[in-house]
Amino acid sequence: MPATASGAAAARKPAAQGEEAVLEGRSPAKTAAAAQELSARHYTAGFADLAQVRDLADKLRLPARTPTYSPTTPVASWEAPAR
């Protein structure tokens, strides 16, 4: 979420509902001020600089949630109907 006036405004409602807001902006001072108001995490990056974009993506990346699977693992619990 950008830390512009409109970006901060857009983050207010979800933050007020208990959702986690994460702000991103180019200006460290503006971004930090908006984040403090919303008790949000914040990052700065200039999207014109690909290195900054990649760095931001690495910081925001969540661990992969790969489900475990093996051919012998049942997909669902199922019992045959009684005869």
pLDDT in tens, 4-33: 677 788 888 888 888 888 888 889 999 999
Q: What is the pLDDT of residues 43-80, one digit of tens each?
A: 999 889 999 998 998 888 865 555 555 555 555 544 55
What one-character-per-residue DSSP string does the chain give? Answer: -B-SHHHHHHHHHHHHTTPPPEEEES-HHHHHHHHHHHT-EEEE--TT-HHHHHHHHHHHPPPP-PPP--TTS-SS---PPP-
Is 11 part of a structural domain of the chain? yes
Is 71 part of a structural domain of the chain? no
**Total structural domains within the chain:** 1
Residue 20: give the domain boundaries.
5-60
Is 78 part of a structural domain of the chain? no
pTM above 0.85, yes or no: no
Is 72 part of a structural domain of the chain? no
Is 31 part of a structural domain of the chain? yes
